């Protein structure tokens, strides 16, 4: 396998297909989808409900195995086939390289906002103690959550939980970020704040970012725009 992906990609999906169910209930969620994520690029993925957006994010990020096709990622100067790794290798790879914002947030109920971010830094071996706390607080501050840092999810609003989930994905400065509708519960002001954070992570920290959204107002923030419909992907002009 080549040591770098061509076309300046850092993550590449090749001919990905994925179906759910068996027999009569079989449904194709992805039909031959290929795309490149590039460092320093913020990409937007749109498409109707049920078109396969969450499925594509899960396949690209190493959470859901495709039926056919490959996901190649550059990591530590090598090209790796994400779905040829062992489960343990893939878990380590994800922990080290990938931030994921789930559509349903997936926060830990027992942890405060600050602890949700600190634990990512500790588990990944990025930072501990005072340094983890400082980085967690800085990220919460950027998300407008400084006053909420001691609250657990049950005492946060939907939009506050969503911003904690975004902070958790970004706090370790990951190479790859996948965000599934990260602004769906936010007012426009906070939505813009989140898009600016994602844009900074791409443009200043060279992350490759793929964001799913239904909101056309996000188009001016992104570098590239993909449309997924009925399991087929196409790149579209932003204008
Ligand atoms: N676990 C599952 N079992 C069976 N079918 C599923 C499963 N997950 C998704 N699907 C089906 O696969 C298709 C794609 O689903 P997916 O969640 O990827 O769509 P989506 O574009 O993210 O939709 P939304 O905008 O509503 O979040 C849909 O038809 C959905 O019903
Ligand atoms: Mg979805």
Confidence of residue 6 (pLDDT cuts 50, 70, 90): confident
Nearest to 60 by CA among 43, 40, 77: 43
Nearest to 16 by CA among 36, 31, 3, 38: 31
Task: Write down the mean pLDDT value for the chain.
Answer: 94
Protein residues placing their CB within 5 Å of the ion ligand 2: 53-54
Mutate to test the pocket of ligand 1, among 53, 63, 184, 228 (most ligand atoms within 8 A of CB): 53
How far is residue 98's CA from residue 165's CA, in Å, rounded to a whole number?
13
Protein residue whose Cα sits closest to atom 18 of ligand 1: 52
Domains of the chain, CATH where assigned: 6-236 (3.40.50.300)
Cβ of 21 below 6 Å from ligand 1: yes
Q: pLDDT digit string (tens) for 29-85?
A: 999 999 999 999 999 999 999 999 999 999 999 999 999 999 999 998 899 999 999
Mutate to test the pocket of ligand 1, among 52, 57, 63, 102 (most ligand atoms within 8 A of CB): 52
Calculate the alpha carbon distances from 188 to 122, 177, 217, 235 in Å. 32, 22, 9, 26
**Residue 5 pLDDT:** 83
Q: pLDDT digit string (tens) for 170-217?
A: 999 999 999 999 999 999 999 999 999 999 999 999 999 999 999 999
Atom number in ligand 1 closest to CA 228: 21
**Residue 235 pLDDT:** 96
Q: Are 55 and 64 in contact (CB under 8 A)?
A: yes
Q: pLDDT digit string (tens) for 118-150?
A: 999 998 889 999 999 999 999 999 999 999 999
**Residue 9 pLDDT:** 82
Is residue 2 predicted with pLDDT exceeding 70?
no
CA of 53 to the centre of ligand 1 (A): 8
Confidence of residue 8 (pLDDT cuts 50, 70, 90): confident
Cβ of 51 below 6 Å from ligand 1: yes
How far is residue 119's CA from residue 135's CA, in Å, rounded to a whole number?
11
pTM for the model stands at: 0.94
**In the chain, % of residues over pLDDT 70:** 99
Protein residue whose Cα sits closest to atom 27 of ligand 1: 49
**Neighbouring residues of 106: CB distance < 8 A, sequence distance ≥ 6:** 165
């Amino acid at each position: 396998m080549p040591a770098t992906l061509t076309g300046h990609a850092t993550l590449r999906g090749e001919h990905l297909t994925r179906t759910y169910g068996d027999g009569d209930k079989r449904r194709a969620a992805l039909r031959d989808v290929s795309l490149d994520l590039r460092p320093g690029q913020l990409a937007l993925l749109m498409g109707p409900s049920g078109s396969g957006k969450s499925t594509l994010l899960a396949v690209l990020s190493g959470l859901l195995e495709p039926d056919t096709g490959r996901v190649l990622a550059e990591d530590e100067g090598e090209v790796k086939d994400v779905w040829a790794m062992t489960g343990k290798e893939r878990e380590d790879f994800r922990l080290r390289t990938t931030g994921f914002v789930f559509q349903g947030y997936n926060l830990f109920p027992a942890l405060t906002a600050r602890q949700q971010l600190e634990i990512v830094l500790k588990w990944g071996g990025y930072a501990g103690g005072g340094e983890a706390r400082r980085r967690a607080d800085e990220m919460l501050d950027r998300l407008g959550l400084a006053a909420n840092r001691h609250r657990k999810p049950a005492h946060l609003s939907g939009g506050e939980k969503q911003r904690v989930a975004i902070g958790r994905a970004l706090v370790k400065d990951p190479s790859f970020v996948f965000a599934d509708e990260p602004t769906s519960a936010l007012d426009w002001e906070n939505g813009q704040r989140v898009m600016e954070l994602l844009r900074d992570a791409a443009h200043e920290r060279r992350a490759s970012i793929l964001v799913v959204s239904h909101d056309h107002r996000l188009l001016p923030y992104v570098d590239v725009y993909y449309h997924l419909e009925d399991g087929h992907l196409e790149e579209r002009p932003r204008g």
